[in-house]
Structure 1
Amino acid sequence: MIYIYNCYGGTHSSAMAAAYHLKKLPEDRIPSKEEILNIDIFNKLTPKDMGRIIFHGIDEDGHKVYTLGRGSSKAMIPALNELFLLLNDGTKTDKVIFSNASPTVPLAMTFGGLFSRRLHIDFIGIPLLVKGAKQTYHNTITLVKRTIEIGKTTKNQIEILENKNLEVNKLF
């Protein structure tokens, strides 16, 4: 099975989801600032990286975990869905689970990403990103657990999870 966590830039919420999925972040507590900032691609990607499917590792069940920054495109995930179907051409290959991590993003993380990645004002952006990451961490855990459960139970070859029911309080 292949898990692809996706969000706008691919460098914050989806990176956290992949790190949690691969047990690089704790389940029993909110990660520290250092643990968040040490996630392999957290706050490191640029707009040129959008559209790249980035491999993060293999989980404890032998499944591959990736992230994807899709930008503002509403067509990217459906296009990838069609591409995977075309490549499979009726043959049984790995299931692919696309899981949208964007609904977990609180306002602090949105503004943090804007200040840090777009405006290059890290002294404002990074503290906001860390605050947002901590604020939504329980939502990230819920999203990943739900994604894994659907991956185990779906009969579909490709599953697209929008995760709209995981929206968080968007206030600072």
Structure 2
Amino acid sequence: MIYIYNDFGGTHTTSMAAAYHLHILKPGILSKEDILSVPFFNQLKKKDRGRIFYHGKDEEGNPVFTIGRRNSKYVVPAMTDLSYILLERYGQNEKIVISNTSPTVPPLMTAGGFFSRELGIDSIGVPLLVKGAKQCHGLIQHLVDETKRVAAASQELVTVLENKEYQYKMGKKDIFWK
């Protein structure tokens, strides 16, 4: 099985999802250091847009990747089609799971990513990103657990999870999953 987590920038919630998937991040309260030490977290540059990054193998030997798709609604369908082409061409029965982490992004993380990655103002962006990551980390954990559960149960070779049931609840300290 191959896991690919995707979102707009590919450097915040996707990196956290990969870190939870690989048990780099542990359940519970996250410190600033925990968040900032996540591989690729807030590290990608403009040249990295659309690139697929390898994060490691999970406990079952499955590779975990991330990609930032920006505003393109064509990246995931293209990845899906390419996956089928390669699986058919090389006679593989490997499952590929493409999971969207965008619904977990709180407004603070969006603002932080804009200041840090787009404007290069880390002094404003990074504190917002850390606070946003602390707000949504539980939701990302749930998303990863659900991604693994659906992947194990699916009979499809390529599974695309939009994860629209995940939301950040604004105005509350907590997050929820419905």
Asked if these proteins are the same fold (TM beyond 0.5), I'd say: yes
Q: Following the alignment from structure 1 to structure 2, what is the Cα–Cα distance between the partners of residues 144 and 83? A: 23
Cα displacement (A) at 1:77: 0.4
1:80 matched residue in structure 2? 79
Q: Does the 8 Å CA contact 1:106/1:171 hold for their aligned counterparts?
A: no
Deviation, structure 1 residue 171? 4.8
* 1:61 CA drift (Å): 1.0
Cα RMSD after superposing both structures: 1.2
Q: Which runs of 5+ in 1 are unaligned?
A: none
- Number of residue pairs matched by the alignment: 171
What amino acid is the match of 2:169?
A: N
Equivalent residue, structure 2, for 1:94: 94
Are the equivalent residues in 2 in contact too, given 1:9–1:47 (CA < 8 A)? no
1:154 counterpart residue number: 154
1:118 paired residue number: 118
CA contact (8 A) 2:87 2:94 kept: no
Deviation at 1:92, TM superposition (A): 3.0
Deviation, 1:31, is 1.3
Q: Aligned to 2:124, what secondary structure does the other structure show?
A: helix
AA of the residue aligned to 2:56: G
2 CA distance for matches of 1:22 and 1:67? 13
The answer to whether the aligner puts 1:135 opposite 2:96 as a matched pair is: no
Segments ≥4 residues shifted beyond 6 Å = none
TM-score scaled by length of structure 1: 0.96
The separation in 2 between residues aligned to 1:108 and 1:125, in whole angstroms, is 9
Give 1:18's aligned amino acid: A
Give the superposition deviation at 1:26: 1.0
Residues 2 and 63 of structure 1 are in contact (CA less than 8 Å); yes or no, is this contact kept in structure 2? yes
Give yes or no for the alignment of 1:109 onto 2:116: no
Matched, 1:10 2:10: yes
Gaps of 5+ in 2: 173-178
Return the alpha-carbon distance in structure 2 between the equivalents of residues 43 and 86 of structure 1: 32
**In the TM superposition, what is the alpha-carbon distance from 1:170 to its structure 2 partner?**
3.8
